[in-house]
Amino acid sequence: MESPFVYKGGELFCENVPLVEIARQFGTPCYIYSYSRIVQNYHIFDDAFSSVPHLIAYAVKANSNGAILRTLAREGSGADVVSGGELARALAAGIPPKRVVFAGVGKRQEELARAVESGILLVNIESLEELESIHVIASERKTRVRISIRVNPDVELKTHPYISTGRSEDKFGLPVPQALTAYRRAKAFPELALVGIHMHIGSQITQLSPYQKALETLLSLVEVLAEEGIYPKFLDIGGGLGISYAEQPVPSPADLAAVVLPMIRDYGGTLLIEPGRAILGDAGLLITEVLYRKPGLTQPFLIVDAGMNDLIRPCLYGAQHRVVPVVDPGGKKATVAVVGPVCESADVLTHECSLPQLKPGEYLAIKDVGAYGFSMASRYNSRPCPAEVMVKGEEAFLIREREDLGDLTARERIPPFLS
């Protein structure tokens, strides 16, 4: 599948728009997304599971920009949300409530209430106390709420421990014995419609065997539940399918479907899948301006205006993103470390990268940052958040304005004794 980010005459384009033009018009750092790749990635996932009743519920945490959510809503996507804010964003973008599922270990009472009042498809319950809370909320509102129990299947992943969510030591979901207790308790509450079973084992998963093992655990529990007269009609296998950050082979949605579909041949319900990274990851990049070149004792540094506050993945996870010149002048290349302006030694976008001899004022592009890029950005060092731009064909559209210095203090208040 050809990337929407390609060189034409030595200049990098997003679809049919030169990235240099975007950098000059909207400034840097700047996130840029390809509309066509987002739509294409969604349909690759949707088509892979077309042989069974299913819902693709996009993981809003991957990138919650309203234009992106609206794009996916128009293609028929649902939403997997993990906070009241994400729920509000999904509904505001036009995603129907009956296509929204709400997970997360720490839902506040007002968040649960908003979910109930909105009439969403499912609330995924992650603890016995949360089950009691949703029962109280449903009883107070004299309504029946559709719920699912999130099961922790205790599987190990070859991924960063910070994004593994299905091991016994992780905070997510309920171990099988506790999940069975939750189902039995929920069955006694007429205000709760016990219609789903859920798992989510982690993120950036590049092997399919953990999915298979976890799904075997889930389906075994489904058989036990059936013996007790409980029939979850929604089987939610979560998301987490990885993408190729360094051109390494990774399984495709079709590969995942080839594992999952035979296992649920006799299930008879609706399959829910919650991809985020696999839809947005390779649809976005971050452009940044070279500020300075600096020799070092071990390697030279290329200092740019994007930092760990703009893209924290390299610092937080040791993630390796490809860094390329926006305009490739050709000629001799040198190995450099690309670093940002934040006052932390961890502010390194890549420790080792072969680049042509770039001068201050030229631009670099950091690839595969559409997911968990802007959504994890911060204002650390009082650095305003960057702009976001969506490209469709030959046009670039600003979908989030760059913050200015006034935005940094707009919600602060000075107490009278300091006035």
- Residues classed as catalytic: 343
Amino acid at 324: V
Phi, psi of 324, deg, nearest 5: -135, 155
Closest Cα to residue 46, out of 69, 26, 72, 28?
72
Contact 66, 399 (CB under 8 A): yes
Copy the structure tokens of residue 208. 């399919």
DSSP 376: G
- Which residue carries 């080839």 as its tokens? 258
Q: Where does residue 311 rank: exposed (0-12), middle (13-18), buried (19+ CB within 10 A)?
A: buried
Residue burial 84-117, b: 16+ Cβ < 10 Å; e: rest? bebbebbbebebebebbbbbbeebeeebbbbbbe
Contact 90, 111 (CB under 8 A): no
Contact 34, 399 (CB under 8 A): no
Rounded-to-10 torsion of CA 107, 109, 114, 115: 50
* Contact residues for 282 (Cβ-Cβ < 8 A; gap 6+): 3, 37, 41, 243, 244, 367, 368, 370
Taking the C-alpha atoms of residue 46 and residue 279, their distance in angstroms, rounded to an integer, is: 11
Closest Cα to residue 313, out of 358, 376, 271, 249?
376
CB atoms near residue 389 (< 10 Å): 24
SS3 assignment, position 54: strand
How many CA atoms lie within 13 Å of 54's alpha carbon, on the beta-carbon side?
A: 24
Contact 233, 225 (CB under 8 A): no
